Amino acid sequence: MSETHLIDRVRELFPEAIIEVQRAHDELTLVVRKSALEAFMHFLFQDTELAFNYLVDVTAVDYQNLPEISEKFQARFMVVYHLYSHQNNVRVRIKTPLEEDEAVPSVATLWKAANWLEREVYDMFGIVFEGHPDLCRILMPDDYEGHPLRKDYPLRGRGERARFLFDTGNQEG
Amino acid sequence: MGLEKAIGSVMPNALTTRLDRLINWAQKNSLWPMPFGTACCGIELMATLAAKYDLARFGAEAIRFSPRQADLLIVAGRVSLKEMPVLKKIYDQMPEPKWVISMGACASCGGVFDTYTLIQGVDQFIPVDIYVPGCPPRPEDMIDALIQIQKIVEEKSVRDPSD
Ligand code: SF4
């Protein structure tokens, strides 16, 4: 199964879902509408011909300071999924544009690997994954406020270092 | 005083020395490091311990992964706010006397990571004896740091409770 065949099949099955097909550095990226994401990912997971059995990564990008992208897709964030098929040796990147307070459907029920990866995206960007079994912070302390990889989060933090109490590991106040 | 001579005439195989010197000599040549390797510096520390640089030549090859069996803490890498309580607990668990090497720019001052999550120098929370500059320091720098620690060990006295 080739990449062209993959594009033809998903275009045929989801004519409305795909906003854009990008090819850069020999890599295939599909920008998919959020409303269709759940069905789309479910299809990629269960289809025996495509056989995307391996979820390599889930991450996100904050395009707040890149108006050429955020205006084009009417979105502040993009959630990015990297999929790989061992059977076909094919990789694909799925991107979903997202406005600030929008949630995305979780894919943790399809690929178990998504569980921690989605928690990390939630922790760093504050993007909520609906249907995730346990969406809590994974890297930052539990009582941490804010989502540090957002572009509007100051690099040196909001005084966490000054408020830090080392005997409990918690923030003051 | 002629004491050495008197003892030597009775026991020809005996050596006389000061208690401090004997204990310090034993301690400085058998430092047991506890590696707290949290980042890239940890890799360089492994190289220091491996065959090419061979820290065993200085008696510090018995790496202990339990702080209760170690007397030299090597902080090798970045320490985040979330991790600092762990490091403090490890330091507290080490029996006295104990020494600390802060390896690399990150452990010593935060390095290039002047960010929301990073401790800007572990010496804010635990006492550090030797700082090793570098990003990462070369194994030779670590060997030098160990020799500096040995000099500190050499100078302490069993009579001084502060040591
Ligand atoms: S000082 Fe450099 S090598 Fe060491 S942990 Fe920091 S970044 Fe890594």
Q: Which residues pair with A152 in a beta bridge?
A: none
Residue A158 — very low, low, confident or very high, per pLDDT cuts 50/70/90? Answer: confident
C-beta of B121 in contact with ligand 1 (< 6 A): no
Given the DSSP bridges, would you call strands B99-103 and B72-76 parallel, antiparallel or unpaired? parallel
Whether residue A1 has pLDDT greater than 80: no
Does the distance separating the beta carbons of B116 and A154 come in below 8 Å?
Answer: yes
The predicted model gives A34-61 an average pLDDT of 93
Closest-CA residue, ligand 1 atom 8, reads B40
Which pLDDT score is estimated for B31?
Answer: 93
Residue B74: helix, strand or coil by DSSP? strand
Whether residue A61 has pLDDT greater than 80: yes
Whether residue A173 has pLDDT greater than 60: no
pLDDT digits (tens, 9 = 90+) for B48-103: 999 999 999 998 888 889 999 999 999 999 999 888 889 999 999 999 889 999 99
The percent of residues in chain B predicted with pLDDT above 90, rounded, is 64
The predicted model gives A16-29 an average pLDDT of 90
In whole angstroms, give the CA distance from residue A171 to residue A161: 9
Q: Which of A111, A133, A112 has its CA nearest to residue A122? A: A133
Whether residue A163 has pLDDT greater than 80: no
Chain A residues with CB-CB distance to B120 below 8 A? 161
**Nearby residues of B36 by Cβ (< 8 Å), 6 or more positions away:** B73, B74, B75, B76, B77, B87, B90
φ, ψ (nearest 5 deg) of residue A59: -150, -170
Most ligand 1 atoms within 8 A of CB, residue of B106, B117, B118 to mutate: B106
Whether residue A167 has pLDDT greater than 70: no
In whole angstroms, give the CA distance from residue B61 to residue B63: 6
Q: How far is CA A33 from CA A19, A114, A127, B110, B132, in A?
A: 6, 19, 16, 42, 52
In whole angstroms, give the CA distance from residue A149 to residue A49: 37
Chain A residues with CB-CB distance to B92 below 8 A? none
C-beta of B38 in contact with ligand 1 (< 6 A): no
Question: B4 or B137: which carries more pLDDT confidence?
Answer: B137
The predicted model gives B157-162 an average pLDDT of 69
Q: Which CATH class is domain A3-154?
A: alpha beta
- List the single residue in A148, A156, A169 with the smallest CB-CB distance to B85: A169
The backbone region for B70, taken as left when phi is positive above 0, alpha when psi lies in -120 to 50, beta otherwise, is beta
In whole angstroms, give the CA distance from residue A127 to residue A30: 20
Question: In the predicted model, what is the mean pLDDT of chain B?
Answer: 90
pTM: 0.83
Which pLDDT score is estimated for B4?
Answer: 80
pLDDT digits (tens, 9 = 90+) for A100-143: 889 999 999 999 999 999 999 999 999 999 999 999 999 988 88
ipTM for this prediction:
0.76
